[in-house]
Amino acid sequence: MTATLVSALTPVAAPAEATVVRRATSRTFLMCPPEHFTVAYAINAWMNTATPVDTGRAVAQWWDLRDAYLALGHTVHVLEAKPGLPDMVFAANGAFSVDGVIYGARFAYAERAAEAKAHARWYPRNGWSTVVEPRFTNEGEGDFAYVPGPGLILAGYGFRTDPRAHAEAQDVLGRPAVGLRLIDPRFYHLDTALFVLDDDTICYFPGAFSAGSQRVLRRLFPDAVLADEADALAFGLNAVSDGRNVVLPAAATGLGKVLADRGYVPVHVDLSELLKGGGSVKCCTAELRA
């Protein structure tokens, strides 16, 4: 695994013409190892129960991602994987946090429902005392993204999250929420089509959103980085940024070059085995915002 790790952690250097100096901020993440990962059911366009899954390879790729975060100076907490919950590796879906307040998840599909309870138990046991159980269906950071500069919640809907959860999250977290409608089932969660690059900048694939939501995004983020369909289908938008370093799937090479041109440092990690479950870098990573 060492050779793989060295390859995974090799960043694409920003070109000399990139004049903007990006600054990384240390982050705290929650992850769950894919010890029980398989594709036992199909609840998104990427899952196929007839496709073989190599769980051992998935675990090795997950460790590469965790090691990448540690090498970048971030803190990683680990949630224990539970038998019978093969999608628990996608830890981003278990909650959404801002200022130490945890807004819990309520999954759309029965196959994943027990994951919400596992997450809800973990937080108070690890120093997070304010945990709010939701009334409405939402899948945590799968459909919620936080932009720190304006203090804004971007909230996806269309396939999983009930739009009523947007207002609930706004009340719980004390931040305005902007609803964004997803229209392509391949991009069933917001985090498959959009991620936050730094305090004021996002990256997204316009084609995943309704025309109205595209107008909202252009108005709010005129300087956003736009991804093309090829990189979106490589799950390039399912990425994690610390303001400078952007951890994203190995296959999203075009987006990596675009980000480098904007002064960010792409760090490519291969999570191809986990993509069989419809997830990648961000799906495996819940950010804990104190």
Active-site residue numbers? 189, 283
Helices (H) and strands (E) in the chain, counts: 7, 15
CB within 8 A of 78, min separation 6: which ones?
Answer: 30, 31, 32, 33
**Coil, strand or helix at 96:** strand
Report residue 284: phi and psi, to 5°: -85, 0
Rounded Cα distance between 161 and 148, Å, is 22
Q: Say if strands 130-132 and 101-104 run parallel, antiparallel, or are unpaired.
A: parallel
Q: Measure CA 144 to chain center.
A: 9
Structure tokens, 1: 């695994």
Q: Which residue has tokens 């870098």?
A: 281
Q: How far apart are the first and last CA of the chain?
A: 33
